[in-house]
Structure 1
């Protein structure tokens, strides 16, 4: 494979790695925002439970108690769904991270291969140059010897 083709592959790999990194960062930001919402709902549920307890000590009708209890139950259902969604966010982060690491490894591998080929080409060029210099020196020596006789 030519150097230009490998350079193009490296450029594409770097682009994919960059996109994968951006996706990872976005997934992390979304997860943090979602977890903050989850914490707010949990805090709201806790506050509401405290209110229910306080109102219960002051005397609460069965109808009001039933309403408050249903509302807390709905909050609990919402929290369960939110927690599952938070787990899904974490799974997404993990997938994004794995993909980014895979892209990063491919980029590093291509970069290593290009550097290895460049090193080999440099060594080959140096050997060729040395061979040409040796041949030139040998020819010069032969010409010198011929001119002496």
Structure 2
């Protein structure tokens, strides 16, 4: 029975480790997502500044149209990227929940194993005490019999 519990505990520890790695990966992906958004926003700011600088020296309608279309594409990209944020956050939440469940499972197996060990120790102490009591009773009876003769 104990070896079965030990096996289950080992499995639970392995599952918990996998859950921790998945959570770490999800957090890394969320962080990478934020960095990517920041880079696109910075690129857009830089591009807008270039547009202003070039506009001071004069732009044709065609050049302006081309630059405006590019800015619109950047805005669409940012909008699409921002919609993905909830996905990355949800991944982190799901992984966190899974990890908590795995940790709870591991702890319950550890508790069960410790309880079985405590129960076994208590049972052994009772057996030892019973043997000592029986031994004392036998010794007392022997002494009494020996002293009576």
Question: 2:118 and 2:81 mapped to 1: Cα distance?
Answer: 55
Which aligned pairs between 1:108-123 and structure 2 lie closer than 5 A?
Answer: 108-123=107-122
Superposed, 1:1-149 pairs within 5 Å as: 2-149=1-148
Residues 73-103 of structure 1: CA deviation (Å, up to 9, x unaligned): 1111111111222331121111111111111
Q: Which consecutive aligned stretches of 4+ in structure 1 deviate over 3 angstroms post-superposition?
A: none
Q: TM-score, normalised by structure 1?
A: 0.92
Deviation string for 1:95-122 (max 9, x for gaps)?
1111111111111121112112211211
CA apart distance, 1:147: 2.2
Shift of 1:63: 1.0
For residue 31 of structure 1, report the CA deviation from its aligned partner.
2.0
Q: Secondary structure at the match of 2:84?
A: helix
Question: 1:3 Cα shift?
Answer: 1.5
Quote the RMSD (CA, aligned, Å).
1.3
CA distance in 2, matches of 1:141, 1:5: 45
> What is the total number of aligned residue pairs between the two structures?
148
Counterpart Cα distance in 1 of 2:82 and 2:127: 67
- Using structure 2 for the length normalisation, give the TM-score: 0.92
| 1:71 Cα deviation after fit | 0.5
SS at match of 2:59: coil
Return 5+ residue gaps in structure 1 as ranges: none
